[in-house]
């Protein structure tokens, strides 16, 4: 078995491939930490053991798990195979021990997966941009409109891309719809079934705003240990990650102070300040 090295070339894959939540969950369920499985092996195992049939192209869901850091690729007998990473084992355990939390974790991996490196899959950037637009608009806008707005952002943020190429550097309404499918997998739901209006979520898990706050620290280049004024803008940015009600998000951060030493809240003349001492990740849950 030969581990495949990470590809260092710039990635231009903004399009969201067809890796739906249900199939990705089934593939995650059957992957192993030691024995690499090819997409055909995975499909056969799911069909024989669980009665689940994968779509025609069996590569999409294993590749999605790889892009999210839950699986690694290895070359075995000329075939690209997949096996679980430690993070993959952690998230897979949530499907049984923390089943209510699992959809949020998968959404978070999509939302936070683009780290700015040129080689990181750009569809993770597309997913986050769709979420940000939805949060700003407070609704699921038509997929064609979403595609146009994401394309405009692509041209602004990645001006050196060849937008006339036959492959890569593209995003369309189908890709937007697949982002919506993952957003709609959250429970409690974030959107009305009838008109797609955003319904800010009220959840019980303080881990979600902690993950979101850690993400905001990363994106804004805050130093861990430095206090940050928890004003309306910062609170909205934290709540946006999981489409949370901002009041509930603030309450959950207060609750988190009682459960982790990494977080502190302090009232100052300027307002409430929040301090995250160190990064908080899925492994901390």
Confidence at residue 128, expressed as pLDDT on a 0 to 100 scale: 98
- Residue 62 pLDDT grade (very low, low, confident, very high; cuts 50, 70, 90): very high
Per-residue pLDDT tens for 154-203? 999 999 888 777 666 789 999 999 999 999 999 999 999 999 999 999 99
pTM (two decimals): 0.95
% of the chain beyond a pLDDT of 70: 96
CA 102 – CA 24 distance, rounded (Å): 12
Per-residue pLDDT tens for 250-283? 999 999 999 998 999 999 999 999 999 999 999 9
Per-residue pLDDT tens for 31-51? 999 899 999 999 999 999 999
Confidence at residue 4, expressed as pLDDT on a 0 to 100 scale: 66
CA 226 – CA 275 distance, rounded (Å): 6
Does residue 58 surpass a pLDDT of 70? yes
Of 139, 143, 141, 110, give the one whose Cα is nearest residue 126.
110
Confidence at residue 8, expressed as pLDDT on a 0 to 100 scale: 55
């Amino acid at each position: 078995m030969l581990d495949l090295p990470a590809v260092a070339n710039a990635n231009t894959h903004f399009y969201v491939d067809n890796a739906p939540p249900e199939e990705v969950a089934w593939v995650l369920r059957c992957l192993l930490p030691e024995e690499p499985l090819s997409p055909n092996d995975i499909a056969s195992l799911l069909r024989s053991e669980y009665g689940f049939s994968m779509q025609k192209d069996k590569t999409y869901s294993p590749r999605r798990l790889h892009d999210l850091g839950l699986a690694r690729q290895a070359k075995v007998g000329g075939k690209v195979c997949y096996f679980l990473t430690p993070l993959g084992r952690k998230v897979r355990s949530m499907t049984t021990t923390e089943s209510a939390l699992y959809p949020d974790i998968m959404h978070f991996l999509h939302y936070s997966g683009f780290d700015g490196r040129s080689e990181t899959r750009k569809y993770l950037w597309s997913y986050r941009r769709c979420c940000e637009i939805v949060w700003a608009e407070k609704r699921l806008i038509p997929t064609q409109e979403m595609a146009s707005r994401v394309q405009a952002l692509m041209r602004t943020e990645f001006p050196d891309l060849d937008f006339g190429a036959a492959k890569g550097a593209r995003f369309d309404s189908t890709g937007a719809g697949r982002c919506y499918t993952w957003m709609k997998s959250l429970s409690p739901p974030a959107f009305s079934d009838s008109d797609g209006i955003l319904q800010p979520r009220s959840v019980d898990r303080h881990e979600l705003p902690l993950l979101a706050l850690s993400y905001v620290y990363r994106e804004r280049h805050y130093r861990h240990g430095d206090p940050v004024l928890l004003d309306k803008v910062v609170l909205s940015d934290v709540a946006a990650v999981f489409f949370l009600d901002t009041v509930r998000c603030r309450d959950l951060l207060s609750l988190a102070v009682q459960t982790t030493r990494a977080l502190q809240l302090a009232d100052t003349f300027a307002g409430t300040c929040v301090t995250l001492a160190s990064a908080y990740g899925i492994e901390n849950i």
